[in-house]
Structure formats: C-alpha cells, structure tokens
Structure 1
Amino acid sequence: MAITSRAITWCLCCEILLAGCAAAATEPRLFQSSQATPNGEYTFGIEGPAADRDGNLFVVNIGKPGTIGKLAAGAARSEKFIDLPEGSVGNAIRIDRDGTMFIADYKKHNIFMLRPGSREPQVFFHSDQMNQPNDITLASNGVIYASDPNWKGRSGRIWRIVRGADGAVGGEVMAAPRAMGTTNGIDLSPDGKRLYVSESNSGQIWSYAVGEGGLADARLIRTFEPDTVDGLRTDVAGRIFVARIMRGAIAVLRPDGAVEREVALGAKEPTNLAFGGSDGKTVFVSQRQGGFIETFRTDQEGREHCLQRGHC
C-alpha cells in the first residue's frame, strides 16, 4: 500500500508528541521534594549547604562536628571533603564567582576562606566581639554579611566584613534602625539593595535597605510561629525561600512577604538550603531530622548561582 504524504506527516507528529511526553515524564515535577542522600550521613548540626559552579554540594558536619562533606554532582552519597582546624565547627558555607569558599565557624568566631583547589582553610576574618558567625551571604562586590545571634539573650545583629584595597580584611557591626532578635538566615535581593534576615525567636522575616553606613528602612514582611524559621535564600525573581524548621516545609515568599507556596518536605527539621545544579534551579535542603539532604526543582535560578556566573 502506498504511503501518502498525509500519513507521513501524521506519523512524524505522533513521534514528536511521544518524544515530548517521554521528556516530560523524566523531568522531575516542580516543587516536589525527594531524599537525595542516605539517612545519618550528617550530624544533628547539619547546615550550610552551598553549591559550586560544577554542581558539587558542600555541607557542614558529615559524620562528626568540625567537618565539611561533599555531595558530588549526580552522586547519591556524600564523602568527607575537609576537616576544619581543631575546635572549629562550621555553620554556613558560601562560594563566590572565583570558586572561593567561605565558612562561618561559630565555635571560634572565624570566617574561613578556602581557595579553589586547596584543602587548607585560612582565617579570612576573626573577631572575639562576635557571639558567633551563624549564616553569611555574599554581595556582588565581595562584601560578606554575617548574622550574629545571641541565643541566650534572644537578640542579634549583622556584621559587614570587607577586604580593603590593601588586602586587609575588616569587619564591623552594622548600625540598625531597631533592636534585632536572634538573627539567623540571611540573604540579599537580586539587585543587592535589600537584606533579608530571619529572627528565630520571633519567627519573623525582616527586610532592610543596605548602605555602607548601616541598615535602614526596616520592614517586617512576614511573621511565622516563634522558633520555626532558620536559613533562607533568594532567587533571581526576588522570592525568598525560608526553611521552616519543625514545620517540615520551605516557604516561598514574594518580596513583600506574601506566601506564594509551601514546599512540603519528607522530614520536619530543615535547617538551610541552597540553589545548585547546572541551571541553578535545583534546591538542596539540609535536614536535621535524619541527617540527610533533600532536593526539589524550582522554576527560577538562585541568586547565588547567578552571581557565581557573573550574571547578577
């Protein structure tokens, strides 16, 4: 039987449709979380996830305190990456566009720097005046902002840490328009003009205008239950992803604080999160309950991922 051009066209359309359906079936659904690593890889102090340009994820406290673990791109298990100096314990990790890793050492009041290819962390900044550097975030100009909670006093502050033109590194507590609670999660808006800070004791998320002289224009954008917010990260659309510790979810907020959605997680104690993957749209969540990493896909690239590639 002769095959007509109409039949050929119909067959080609079916093949294209089937190929599209197959691709859709293999692509993970957005905002649907799954467990990425086995239970018990990390301690109760699991924190500070950060992804590098190659898609590797780095997380604090693998096996025991004072270590950094690495989940290689595409891997299903983590491996120990480095040990921190004796007595130091990491909390937050961030990685800049040059591939330099910064680690907040809350025990010894340090910000460590680890250059690409090195396994020997160096002290980038230290101050005995810190309660503890808890979470940190990087601006496009290299400035580091660090949250500094006083858990016993249920108070906190923000440090600004800068390397000068002569190479010397200095830090100072930023003047603020209000007395802060226990400052915890911290990140910048995509344009770098506003700083978002979670306060764990009150469950509040605050937004501040950033200036060299300090913080201004304090805006309370969202209040959750006390002691249910931890780390947070922003994406290129300006949304704020908040780890709802003890609630087993990531809240996705618009810049004004409106809840766009909540991403349900498999475990109840997310401590922090990071954007990674080849396109910056894979979110990795550190889970204290069980000591593992969860992951889900989102529809926008993370701000830090964009910054690493020089786009932000």
Structure 2
Amino acid sequence: MPRILPLFCITLLMLGANALVLVQAAEPIVPADAKLEKLFESRVLTEGVSVAPDGMVYFSEITFSHIARDEQGAIEAGHIWKYDPATGKTTIFRSPSGMSNGIKFDAQGRMVVAEGADYGGRRVTRTDMTSGKTHIIAAMFEGRPLNSPNDITIDQQGRIYFSDPRYLGYEGLDQPVQAVYRLDTDGSLHRIITDAGKPNGVCVSPDQKTLYVVSNDNGATSIDRLATVVAAQADKVEIPLRKGNMALMAYDLAADGSAKFRKTLVDYSPFDGPDGLICDKDGNVYAAVRAENRPGICVYAPDGKELAYIPTEIPTNVGFGRGKDSNLLYITAGSSLYRIRLNREGYQLPSR
C-alpha cells in the first residue's frame, strides 16, 4: 500500500513579551492513517470517474482497439461501469459506450459524457438517468466532426466546457486545432481556448472565476498506430517523439463564458503532466498527475502551491463522493478504481 504524504505546518505566534502559543494550521488534507483502497480492476484503462446524485459511482473503461480484441479479432466497444458503494458490486451501465472518457453530472442529475475516437462517437452526449434516454448535444464544429472529446466540466449556469485533443484512433483529424469548447444552454457551440497546447483535463473553480486546463502533449495523435509500427520493426527501436506543453494552467473565466490565459500554475516538463482534475469546496485543485518520476494525485492551492500528494499507479482522473461521503475521493488509475477518505469535501454543482 503506498504511503500517504500529508503536507501541513505548525505556526508559532508570539503573544506578549515571552508567551509562545502553538497554533496548528488547518488539518492536513490527507489524514495520516488514510489508506488507498482498490475497489475494482478492469482489463484496459479506467477513466472519467464521477459520482451521481444518488451516490452511484460511474467511470469509463477505454478499450483501446489495438489491445482489447478477442481471439477472432473482435474489438471491445468501450464500457461505462457503475460501482455501488453500498454493496461493493461493479456492473456494466452502458456498452458500447462510444469510447467514453470524461463523465460529469449536471445540476439536474443528468450524465454528460465525452465520447472519444478509436471507433468511438467523437461527441458529447447527455443521458436522463430516470428515462435512460440519451441525446447527442455536441458532435460537429463548423460542419466537421470533433477530434476526440476528452474531459468535461460544467458551470453554475449550465454551460458545458470540454477538451478536444487526439491521442489515438484511425479517424482523420477534422478540426485544425486541439481546443477547449463551450456548449451553451441554447445548444450553440463555441471554441474558446486554442492556446493550451494539447488540452486534456478541464475544471471550473467553485467561485466560477477560473477555468483550469491541463495540457498533456505527448507529441503524437495516434499512439495505437505508432505502436503497430514499432512492433513491426525487428530491432524494436522506439520512434522518437518530442513532447510539447506539460502544464496545469489557469484561465480567467468571464461571466459570458469566455476564457483568457492567466498563468501556468505548474510546469511538469520534461515529465508528463496531469490528466483529469477536480476541485474541493475550498477551491483546491486535485490533479491526476502522470509524471513518470512522481505519479499520483497532487493537491494544489489556487495559486499552484502543492498542499498534498497521494502516490498511485499512473492515474487518469478523480471525483468526489456526495452526502456523507463527500470527503471520499475516487481515483481511476491504470485499469482500476480506487478511493481514499480525506479531510476535505468535494465541490459539486448546486442541484436544480
């Protein structure tokens, strides 16, 4: 079991001429006795964990087509799993999933899903969890298909922000840039960020003033096709790639939903940057950092100062529980689902 490393301090205050009083700062984010608990293991890659208003935990399994094939060569079509905290059982919620990646629940309790490429939907869908009906709410921009919607965040006005990079898939690249988009409540789609490198995780801060964006630029748009080429080489020489921007960035988010770059909070180069991220009620950022030298969940203050670190295998995303379990942090990493109980409560959209 990985050792949890809480970061906190004791402050000394001088009162009067000779009196010293020890004042402990806010309790550590990660309790000293906290344990990372594995809940489920799938076959390929888990992603996009999110907790519904009823407490059920949903997450994606991205079944890479160059890996997840049966003996006849048939491709697994991607899955959305549902974990029930009361029973500990994990079952398939939806398959095929459209190669779902990021999952979020809006203020009405509807499931919003980013569906990627590699035989996926390349779209954003919204599911009514009562009726089970699903609608496609974004799939084209300027008359062309999206690249591969990856992660999702929603503001208090109901506007949906999503990243659209490309990491794998046989499909062509129809958009001229890997960008962040905003889907308004009237159904209109707007490209709002084009200077984030290769955008991945996105998250609106609780005060609605910041849009956090992760760049994780691995230097390629089709890792599956590169893997095939490498496998075909007798000497197994790796194809050289130049990684791009690996950073956690803050954008000023205006009332009209527009975003302007403010600051790079953390630069991870030459190692990999984060994947998904989420905020707690205090506005701290929990990022699934894939850096080879230090993989795990890093907790940052809004100014980028690191507050805590939870070592894990290479992580992909994070999501807080609800109600009495609002301090439970769920983590997707490798092919598994984990959880750990913290001393902070997660931020959730006010329900409508």
* Normalised-by-shorter TM-score class: 0.7 to 0.9
Identity %: 24
SS at match of 2:150: coil
Alignment partner, residue 192 of structure 2? 174
Structure 1: gaps (5+ residues) = 1-27
**Does structure 1 residue 77 correspond to structure 2 residue 121?**
no
Alignment partner, residue 102 of structure 2? 92
Alignment partner, residue 256 of structure 1? 303
Q: How many equivalent residue pairs?
A: 267
Alignment partner, residue 45 of structure 1? 45
Alignment partner, residue 320 of structure 2? 275
Structure ranking higher in helix proportion: 1
Matches within 5 A, 1:57-72: 57-61=57-61, 64-72=76-84
Alignment partner, residue 295 of structure 1? 339
Structure 1 Cα separation of the partners of residues 350 and 206 of structure 2? 13
Native 8 Å contact 1:186 1:231 kept in 2:
yes
Native 8 Å contact 1:137 1:146 kept in 2:
yes
TM-score under structure 1 length normalisation: 0.78
- Work out which of the residue numbers 119, 133, 137 in structure 1 matches 2:132: 119
SS at match of 2:44: strand
TM-score under structure 2 length normalisation: 0.70
Structure 1 pair 103–44 and aligned structure 2 pair: CA distance change class (3 A): same
Alpha-carbon RMSD across the aligned residues, in angstroms, is: 2.5
Structure 1 Cα separation of the partners of residues 215 and 47 of structure 2? 17
SS at match of 2:208: coil
Structure 2 Cα separation of the partners of residues 170 and 45 of structure 1? 32
SS at match of 2:319: strand
Alignment partner, residue 155 of structure 2? 139
Q: Aligned partner of 2:57: which letter? A: L
Native 8 Å contact 1:73 1:277 kept in 2:
no
**Does structure 1 residue 197 correspond to structure 2 residue 210?**
no
Native 8 Å contact 2:248 2:273 kept in 1:
no
Alignment partner, residue 148 of structure 1? 164
- Work out which of the residue numbers 246, 258, 262 in structure 2 matches 1:214: 258
SS at match of 1:303: coil
